[in-house]
Amino acid sequence: MIAKLIHILAFSFCNLTGNTKSTCMAKAKSVQAKYMCLILNTFPSHINRKLIDCCLFAYSLVFFLVSAYLHMASLGDHDEIIKSVSDAPPTHYMVKIESFSLLTKHAIERYETESFEAGGYKWKLVLYPNGNKSKNMKEHVSVYLALADSTSLGPGWEVSAVFRLYLLDQNKDSYLILQGKERRFHMFKREWGFDKFIPTATFFNASNGYLMEDTCMFGADVFVSKERRSGRGECLSMIKDATSSKHIWKIENFSKLDKESYDSNAFFAGDRKWKIRLYPSGTNHGTGTHLSIYLILADPETVSDGTKIFTEFTVRIYDQLQGRHIAGKVTKWFSGSSLENGWVKYVSMVYFTQPSSGLLLKDVCLVEADVCVHGITSALLSLISQNI
């Protein structure tokens, strides 16, 4: 019974790990030796040998099941992994790598193939010769499938696909194939695959046929199952450690301003272009009694539908005599339908024109805007599925 178990374990390890039969036989025998020693040291010598054999069988079976689970869980997708061997080559793409060892010598930790088309989309194979270090992978070759240009999908688009990744066994002229469950590719997750595609010890062992004369061949098949595009939705991105930008506007010959409003030169803050807008005689219910001042988005054509910009800003008029500046500070949302925010009654004309206020000196006033963008909301699409 124990001898049969050893052969069953060896065959199972061989299918699971891709190791040679002799390697797996040695591993299975080590299981027998380990648990035989444990059992013989645990039970008294008078215990029936058949009972010991039954205990050994049970312990070995548990060891095999746990080992199988851990191996499958370590492959990268963590569930629904199908590992197989086929004589048929991949139909969508193959990459042959000559002098594979030089990738390590030249510190090439990640290699991306040229793009190929499958299911109406462009893809790439991504290889990590010594494992994906960003996932703390060691002693394995990591292989992934990636969308070649996820930005071309546009906001809210995603593609669901089932894929198979191949590795040629040059001894048997057959392919080791790993296949996971259906995966969703989109702008924020463009890469899926297997962290532990194959152990490097297995890969570099020439008797396995995967790396012969320092040459190997990988491949991929991709089957797009459905697409999804967006309806309505939004994404708020707050900006950590946002910095402010200041702009000073010198207005000369103030008494001669005869237009309804005047704008400063444009300046940048938070990757947006802004201007200060002044109504010298006021606007709305401030007309004739107050100066009206606003901060405005200077490039409204760049503000797409659904975009909102959360902005904190301060507008000051300098007291040029005593430094007692007047200021207004506020936080507002700017958007395509709300391009300007500010104060209808910023300062009364009476106080502004008083010589002692220092706000208008020699017919010149100085206006400063201090602008900080703290967050941006952009549009997303609700999901509308389209099966392929």
The pLDDT value given to residue 42? 56
User: pTM, whole model, 2 decimals?
Assistant: 0.49
The pLDDT value given to residue 21? 45
Residue 383, pLDDT > 60, answer no
Residue 38, pLDDT > 80, answer no
pLDDT tens-digit series, residues 227-266: 766 556 678 899 999 999 999 999 999 999 999 999 999 9
CB 161 within 8 A of CB 185: yes
The pLDDT value given to residue 13? 46
Q: How confident is the model at residue 280 (pLDDT cuts 50, 70, 90)?
A: very high
**Segment among 1-5, 213-217, 233-237 with least mean pLDDT:** 1-5
pLDDT tens-digit series, residues 290-341: 999 999 999 888 888 878 999 999 999 999 999 999 999 999 999 988 999 9
Q: Domains of the chain, with CATH numbers?
A: 2-73 (no CATH), 82-229 (2.60.210.10), 236-380 (2.60.210.10)
Handedness of CA 18, 23, 25, 28 (dihedral sign): negative
What length does the chain have? 388
Q: How confident is the model at residue 72 (pLDDT cuts 50, 70, 90)?
A: very low
The pLDDT value given to residue 76? 44
Percent of the chain with pLDDT over 90: 62
pLDDT tens-digit series, residues 77-126: 445 789 999 999 999 999 999 999 999 888 899 999 999 999 889 999 99
d(Cα 166, Cα 173) in Å, to the nearest integer?
A: 12
CB 276 within 8 A of CB 245: no
The pLDDT value given to residue 16? 43
Question: Which of 166, 158, 270 minimizes the C-alpha distance to 225?
Answer: 158
The pLDDT value given to residue 206? 94
The pLDDT value given to residue 375? 94
The pLDDT value given to residue 64? 53
Tokens of 339: 């391009």
pLDDT tens-digit series, residues 345-381: 999 999 999 999 999 999 999 999 999 999 998 876 5
The four Cα atoms 80, 85, 87, 92 give a dihedral, to 10 degrees, of 30
The pLDDT value given to residue 46? 58
The pLDDT value given to residue 220? 96
Average pLDDT value for residue range 168-181: 96
Per the prediction, the chain carries an average pLDDT of 83
Exposure of 106 in the CB half-sphere (CA atoms within 13 A): 8
Average pLDDT value for residue range 205-210: 96
